[in-house]
């Protein structure tokens, strides 16, 4: 779907207006893109003999109005196609999602380089999952769009999704299938021939250390095994970009270490991995790039070293998003009345 017709911000920022003081990302290059004028639609001529009610159909429902931004934003050009040449794996332009008057994602812009291990970090409710859902085509944006390998997700969704392997938050699988059947089914859905699917299923079960559990129903898997079989299903069609929402949540340390090795190998072979998390230590160890998100906005983005600015990523994150509270007033916790 082309989102160029979504309503725009009723109070756009003028180029010289002050910007959000904590936002450290560079604004989108102001490449002028002239909008093509909309041609007037010719009006049909209705014969006089036609009854009035036949020419006055029910009025169309008004378009949803996107609420004003929750905070000033960097200037954006959401309708501009990315520049030609070497393209990032993912390009986000003016992406916005409003639920009623609640703006969950607020006109964000972000480029994710090809071949990077990219972390999207933020507090619970920061807008990470909503952003990922829009980028992967699972949730329609209110404004803006996302490009996958230069392909607009909302004008050519099938072509864009062919490049993606997705592990959504709160994995919902066909858990009555066995692990082997689930991966096989995913391969067939992507149009892969039977012989290739069989070969890849065997390789993936071995890589995920799930060969012994291949014949068991996924419903009987542990949390770590479920994440691994879901990751295998996301990899069977050999995508170039993996997008994983909280991939290590509720996963034991051994399974987490195995998954991390697989993801590092994927990046080393030229793939791009994007993970969302609120665990800063994990992101600092795994990722080479990171973006900090809060209240639906990108506060900082770049290499991990650039963003953390000499501090640990956790310290830098707290500095950017704030919100620390004092524990004063809980002194009674140190006394026992029993």
* Helix spans in 175-279 (H): 179-189, 194-207, 223-235, 253-268
Q: CA 31 to CA 35: how far, in whole Å?
A: 12
Q: CA 119 to CA 282: how far, in whole Å?
A: 9
CB-based burial label for 67 (10 Å; 0-12, 13-18, 19+) = middle
Q: DSSP letter at 85? A: S
pLDDT at 169: 77
Q: Are 128 and 169 in contact (CB under 8 A)?
A: no
Q: Are 272 and 112 in contact (CB under 8 A)?
A: yes
Where exactly does CATH 3.40.50.300 map onto the chain?
A: 70-163+240-322
Instruction: Give the N- to C-terminal CA distance of the chain in Å, as an integer.
Output: 64
Q: Are 272 and 84 in contact (CB under 8 A)?
A: no
pLDDT at 269: 92
Chain CA centroid to CA 137, Å: 9
pLDDT at 9: 52
Chain CA centroid to CA 218, Å: 26
Q: Are 121 and 317 in contact (CB under 8 A)?
A: yes
**List of the chain residues with pLDDT < 50:** 1, 3-6, 10, 12-55, 61-62, 69-84
pLDDT at 54: 46
Fold (topology level) of 70-163+240-322: Rossmann fold (3.40.50)
Q: Say what the pTM is.
A: 0.72
Instruction: Render pLDDT for 68-95 as a digit per residue (tens, 0 to 9).
Output: 544 444 443 333 444 445 689 999 999 9
DSSP output for 155-197: TSHHHHHTTEEEE-SS----TTSBHHHHHHHHHHHTT--HHHH
Beta-carbon contacts of 77 under 8 Å, excluding residues fewer than 6 positions away, are 28, 30, 31, 33, 93, 94
Beta-carbon contacts of 298 under 8 Å, excluding residues fewer than 6 positions away, are 23, 25, 108, 109, 110, 291, 292
Q: Of 120, 126, 114, which Cα lies nearest the Cα of 290?
A: 120
Q: CA 181 to CA 176: how far, in whole Å?
A: 10
């Amino acid at each position: 779907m082309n989102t160029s017709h979504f309503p725009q911000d009723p109070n756009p920022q003028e180029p010289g207006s002050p910007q959000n003081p904590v936002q450290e990302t560079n604004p989108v290059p102001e490449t002028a893109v002239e909008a093509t004028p909309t041609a007037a639609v010719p009006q049909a001529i209705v014969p006089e003999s036609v009854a009035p009610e036949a020419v006055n159909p029910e009025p169309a429902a008004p378009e949803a109005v996107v609420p004003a931004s929750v905070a000033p934003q960097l200037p954006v050009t959401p309708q501009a196609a990315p520049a030609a040449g070497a393209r990032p794996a993912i390009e986000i332009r003016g992406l916005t999602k409003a639920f009623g008057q609640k703006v969950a994602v607020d006109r964000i812009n972000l480029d994710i380089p090809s071949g990077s291990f990219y972390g999207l970090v933020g507090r619970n409710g920061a807008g990470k999952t909503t952003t990922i859902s829009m980028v992967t085509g699972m949730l329609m944006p209110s404004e803006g769009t996302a490009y996958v390998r230069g392909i607009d997700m909302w004008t050519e969704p099938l072509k864009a999704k062919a490049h993606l392997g997705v592990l959504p938050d709160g994995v919902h699988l066909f858990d009555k299938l066995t692990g082997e059947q689930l991966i096989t089914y995913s391969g067939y859905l992507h149009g892969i021939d039977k012989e290739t699917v069989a070969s890849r299923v065997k390789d993936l079960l071995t890589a995920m250390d799930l060969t012994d559990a291949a014949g068991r129903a996924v419903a009987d898997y542990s949390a770590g095994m479920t994440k691994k079989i879901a990751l295998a299903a996301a990899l069977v069609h050999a995508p170039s970009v993996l997008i994983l929402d909280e991939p290590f949540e509720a996963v034991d340390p051994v399974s987490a270490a195995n998954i991390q090795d697989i993801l590092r190998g994927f990046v080393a072979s030229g793939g791009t991995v994007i993970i969302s998390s609120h665990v800063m230590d994990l992101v600092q160890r795994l990722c080479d790039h990171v973006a900090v998100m809060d209240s639906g906005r990108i506060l900082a983005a770049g290499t991990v070293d650039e963003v953390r600015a000499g501090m640990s990523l956790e310290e830098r994150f707290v500095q950017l998003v704030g919100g620390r509270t004092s524990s004063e007033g809980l002194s009674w916790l140190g006394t026992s009345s029993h």
